Amino acid sequence: MRRASPPRLSAVTRPRRPVTSATLIAVSVLFGLSAASCEEDGDVGLASAERTSVAELVDASASVTARAAATLSAPADGTLTELRVSPGDRVKSGQVLAVITSPSARNRLAKARQARDAARRAGRGIGGAGDLSRLRRGTDRAAAQAFDAARKAADNLTDPRHRAVLLAQVRAAQRQYEAASEVAGDAVRAVQRGVAGLNSAVRALSEAQRLQAEQAYDLAKATVDALVLRAPIGGVVQFGGPAPAGGSGSADALAGLLGATGGLGAPTGIDPAGLLGGGTPTAPVAGVDGAVPVGGRVSAGTAVLTVVDLTDLGLVADVDETDVLLVTEGVPGTVELDAAPGATYPAGVRSVDVLPTASSRGGVSYRVRLSLGPGRFADGRAAPAPRPGMSAVVRLRVREATDAVTVPAAAVHFAEGRDAVWLVRDGIAERVPVTVGVQGQDLVQIVSGVQPGQQVVVTGADQVRTGERVR
């Protein structure tokens, strides 16, 4: 993190938050420290203001993210009969990865097909003046059964978005049918009173029944088609679903870096914008491999395979609110991974979220997304490619000044409502207000108030008084 704002104490050196990495671009020019003392007692240290380069860094914890991930889940109860890939295989979008056999899903499809065909035939050849009330009651019963079958078929779909859309279609069809049935009831009564014709009532009933039967068939067919698991994206295959965070099997526990769209939870190490898969993974039994073998039983929602797109690795970092205004798109940085000690990776800011998240230290932080380049060790060797979810520390170079007037950070303190330094002219100490620019770890840019070559107090400032001779 950047240095914290100091307590506003008069004539006290402002504390600065330590930064673990070097902040100087050029350290060939160092400050010459000399021992001096006030006329009373105690030692003070002096340093000369110099022209050099200084950079300000913001440190933030981060995690490596993949571009996208898709978990393929069983759409219905059945048996995994084919598995055409192995862990680590690279696959293309649309490639068949596995096949599930589900007699129950195919049985539902057959019944839905029969109901659809019956509904299509029901609209033909009815034009007489028979017992319309009995016909309507029979049609209402058939419609209720068909709507129930449609909802059950929709509930078996594992993709929550697809399931929600189809259930909404079923509800809309049912409302249309009820409206049509009411109209038909009026028509039936009108016909029985000799006011209206028979054909309009029969057409309304038949059309509503046909509509819901068609939708129930589409749902059942979609479930059967989904028994052939195809890769929705290209990437690397792993068996099962993403490991639940913290050992929990709930979808909420999987919320991590698959981080910023749609409000869906995500496995650790995946950018939210890349979530493509569905299903609700279940917690594995201790001591048992959670991957489903060929011939193994699956239930609706069981995660069978996950495809991870590793073509564009990135980072997601949480930047504290005190630093985030310095972070903008394009700001460069370097990354160190816990898994690769001694290696550094280049990074660049892609975007900064507008809405905050709660910070573990209190206050809020903002999510920053970064690009991640190939890394190298200090001796020039290529560093290993990171994996999604790996922990990292990113150091963002938010501000930089070259050929700037600088003094040691310890020389700047806060007094009388603004930054100041003790300036020594001809051996006499004088407090001078200054305007601070870029604030590095060891050096601070002075925009105004101090000129190159002038001496400032860097240690023992609490012993210095205006007009005192420093020797």
Coil/strand/helix, residue 410: helix
| Greatest distance between any 2 Cα atoms in the chain | 122
CATH number of the domain at 68-101+228-280+294-309, please? Answer: 2.40.50.100
pLDDT at position 324 is 94
pTM score above 0.75: no
What are the angstrom distances between the C-alpha of 314 and each of 107, 152, 234, 351, 451?
A: 45, 41, 17, 12, 43
Band (387; pLDDT cuts 50, 70, 90): very high
pLDDT at position 469 is 85
Query: What's 302's DSSP letter?
Result: -
State phi, psi for 326 to the nearest 5 degrees.
Answer: -85, -15
- Mean of the per-residue pLDDT values of the chain: 78
Band (145; pLDDT cuts 50, 70, 90): confident
Q: DSSP letters of 315-329?
A: EEEEEETTTGGG--T
Q: Is CATH 3.40.640.10 the right assignment for the domain spanning 12-56+400-463?
A: no
Provide the residue ranges of all domains of the chain, joining segments of one domain with +: 12-56+400-463, 68-101+228-280+294-309, 103-225
Least confident of 33-37, 97-101, 121-125: 33-37
Nearest residue to 146 (alpha-carbon basis) of 124, 166, 116: 116
pLDDT at position 132 is 63
Half-sphere exposure in the Cβ direction for 436 (13 Å, CA)? 19
pLDDT at position 276 is 38
pLDDT at 330 over 60: yes
Residue with tokens 């979008």: 93
Beta bridge partners of 204: none
Name the token pair of 334. 């370097």
- Across 15-19, 140-144, 189-193, 235-239, the highest mean pLDDT is recorded for 235-239
**Cα gap 331→349, rounded to integer Å:** 5
pLDDT at 256 over 80: no
pLDDT at 26 over 50: no
pLDDT at position 197 is 52
**Cα gap 361→352, rounded to integer Å:** 20
pLDDT at position 186 is 73
